[in-house]
Amino acid sequence: MSTNQEVPTTVIFDATEESNLLNTERQDSFELSDDDQQSFIQASDRQSEIFDFDAHLIPLSLTETQRRPTTLEKEVTFFNGLTLVVGLMIGSGIFASPGPVALHTGSVGMSLVVWIICGLLACTGALSYAELGAEIPLSGGEHAYLNHAYGSLPAFLYSWTAITCLKPGGNAIIAVIFAEYINRMIYYSIFNDDADHPSDITHLWLNKIVASLCIIIISFINAYSVRLATRTQDIFTALKLITLAVIAIIGFIVLGKGGLTKNFEGDIFEGSSTRSSDYALAFYSGLWAYDGWNNLNYVAGEMKNPARDLPRVIMVGLPIVIVCYTLANVAYYAVLPSSIVTQTNTIALDFGRKIFGHVGGIIFALCVAASCFGAANGSIFTGSRLIYVAGREGYLPAFFGKVHGTWNTPTAALIMQAGLTIVMIIPGTFMTLLNFVSVAAWIFYFLTTFGLLLLRWREPSLKRPYKVWLTTPIIFGCVALFLIIMPFARVPLQSLAAVGFILSGVPFWYIRVKYKEKFSIKVIKNYYSNLNLNIKNWKFRQGYQKQDTMEMEMH
């Protein structure tokens, strides 16, 4: 009789518990070879990666609060959120958009009305986004909301458009404004020309060169040092707010003394445009100045009481911005003739020259140029991170997801964004770029807000810490639809180009998401099918080996 004891096997893998694809019983335990164990571990890792991407182009699937609840604390108070909102929204647009708004509306009174309506519209959009941000606590903004409401294709197209169109286009607009102020300032400092003829003082090609140099310099700053980029942002943001406050105060004083023009005498609505397409373009210019309202819900993740304080921040912060913008426009009209306002994209320079003379024009131009430089710096910083994350997750070539070995910054992503921005600067002007970017942006604003209504109907039980009045997203959606349709009558080329640009992302969605998803699922199924067959063969061989051992022991 044999004295050998049977050594118990170690349970490495329970087939029925791990996968329903394996047709083995729960009580069966077996030991896999080292190669089989390693293969299974690798396949499990691949399965986790494949089924976890949830069709996100920027798959930061949870907020930092959810992923690391022990390290992030809710420290943002109502006042903190208020200062952040005001600082985020007040940008370079108020120093460039008054001219186009006045040109398309046709009168002083109607241009002021448009500025106020633009602020109210931004408020309805921000409140709608606040509900979406509370009920869908995922990072990624519109991408996360579109993915939840419609699926992967609209979400991918938004991210595609944001990376290749919206961010570069916005950078190009800011850089063009910067270039116009710099070139006019240099021209005035050399020639000291009459400020009543601003449309003839700069050349288009010179603006494009300076704008491109601006993008290259800012991209280099961001590539060289993150700390330098953030300090640049802080300094120029403060300068921007000071400049706007000075303009508003001076305008109020001048208006109190009777004003320097006759813009507020008689009927201020005389000459107002009667074409709806004109107002759509005017709204685009005005809403560009309020740009940033769609990011306000990002404050919620760090607020102590977001359900209470976030709506309050919006309802207090937006009116502050509306008042600042209205006072600035009143100041412009109190100092400058309406003919000058409608012709210029560098209104702050003309304002400074009219009040303080030649030196005043240069000082105001420098302040606004610095403000634009800071705005472009912030936009390039965030836009490059979108490209970097997309490269890291495999939706762009992996090269764009790498950081510089010495500077530790996403250099390749910054180069890509700078190249896309310069490509848009070369053929574009302020108005063509603004119309192109605005049509593309408002298509997704409409889809996102309509998604809120869709979720109200489709998922009524979804937890909503904050719930906006139903009329708010409906009003916003209707105005957004108007802003999408009307420009096709006045600027069909830019409008069609925006739509075509969005649709060009469909083939990339199929290649980078849909095909990848189908191929990956097929690979996983094939792997588990082969693994199941190998396990059965292994057990079959083990049965024969045990039988041979027993026969040998009997003999």
Give, for all 555 residues of the chain, the pLDDT tens digit: 444 444 443 333 333 333 333 333 333 433 444 444 444 344 444 433 333 333 334 433 333 333 333 333 455 677 777 776 777 778 778 888 899 999 999 999 999 999 999 999 999 998 898 888 778 876 567 877 888 889 888 988 988 898 888 889 988 998 998 998 888 888 766 665 544 444 444 577 888 999 999 999 988 888 887 666 666 666 776 777 788 888 889 888 888 887 778 888 888 998 899 888 889 889 988 998 898 787 665 555 556 776 677 778 888 888 888 998 999 999 999 999 988 898 887 888 889 888 888 888 888 888 888 888 877 887 787 778 778 877 776 667 777 777 777 777 788 888 999 999 999 998 878 888 888 898 999 999 999 999 999 999 998 888 888 888 999 999 999 999 998 998 888 888 888 989 998 999 888 888 767 666 555 555 555 555 555 555 556 555 656 555 555 555 555
**pTM above 0.95?**
no
Q: Is 486 exposed, middle or buried (0-12, 13-18, 19+ CB in 10 A)?
A: buried
Nearest alpha-carbon partner for 181 in 347, 409, 8, 427: 347
| CATH level 2 (architecture), domain 78-516 | Up-down Bundle (1.20)
Partner residues linked to 303 by β-bridges: 76
**187 φ, ψ (degrees, to nearest 5):** -65, -45
How is residue 339 written in tokens? 């003919």
SS3 148: helix
CA separation, residue 340 to residues 98, 149, 189, 281, 355 (Å) = 11, 46, 20, 19, 14
Nearest alpha-carbon partner for 334 in 234, 449, 253, 432: 253
Q: CA 495 to CA 439: how far, in whole Å? A: 6
Q: CA 238 to CA 381: how far, in whole Å? A: 18
Q: CA 424 to CA 379: how far, in whole Å? A: 15
Q: State the pLDDT at residue 300.
A: 58
Q: Is the dihedral of CA 258, 260, 266, 269 positive or negative?
A: negative
SS3 235: helix
Cβ atoms 364, 351 nearer than 8 A: yes
Q: State the pLDDT at residue 200.
A: 45
Cβ atoms 502, 439 nearer than 8 A: no
SS3 521: helix
Q: Could you tell me the residue ranges of all domains in the chain?
A: 78-516
Mapping DSSP onto H, E and C, the string for 38-91 reads: HHHHHHHHHHHHHCCCCCCCCCCCCCHHHHCCCCCCCCECHHHHHHHHHHHHCC
Nearest alpha-carbon partner for 200 in 188, 213, 212, 214: 188
Cβ atoms 173, 430 nearer than 8 A: yes
Please count the CA atoms within 13 angstroms of the CA of 176 that sit on its side-chain side.
28
Cβ atoms 202, 183 nearer than 8 A: yes
How is residue 524 written in tokens? 């996983």
Please count the CA atoms within 13 angstroms of the CA of 94 that sit on its side-chain side.
30
Q: CA 340 to CA 362: how far, in whole Å? A: 18
Cβ atoms 538, 30 nearer than 8 A: yes
Element holding 548 (H helix, E strand): helix 515-554
- Continuous H helices in 166-275: 167-191, 204-224, 226-256
CB count within 10 Å of CB 471 equals 9
Partner residues linked to 385 by β-bridges: none
Q: State the pLDDT at residue 144.
A: 79
Q: CA 307 to CA 470: how far, in whole Å? A: 17
Q: State the pLDDT at residue 118.
A: 93
Q: Give me the DSSP letters along 329-365.
A: HHHHHHHS-HHHHHH-S-HHHHHHHHHHHHHHHHHHH
Cβ atoms 312, 78 nearer than 8 A: yes
Nearest alpha-carbon partner for 321 in 90, 101, 114, 122: 90
Q: CA 136 to CA 148: how far, in whole Å? A: 8
Mapping DSSP onto H, E and C, the string for 418-474 reads: HHHHHHHHCCCCHHHHHHHHHHHHHHHHHHHHHHHHHHHHHCCCCCCCCCCCCHHHH
How is residue 552 written in tokens? 């040998």
SS3 303: strand
Nearest alpha-carbon partner for 455 in 137, 132, 158: 132
How is residue 164 written in tokens? 């290749």
Rg (CA), the chain: 30
SS3 10: coil
Q: CA 65 to CA 263: how far, in whole Å? A: 52
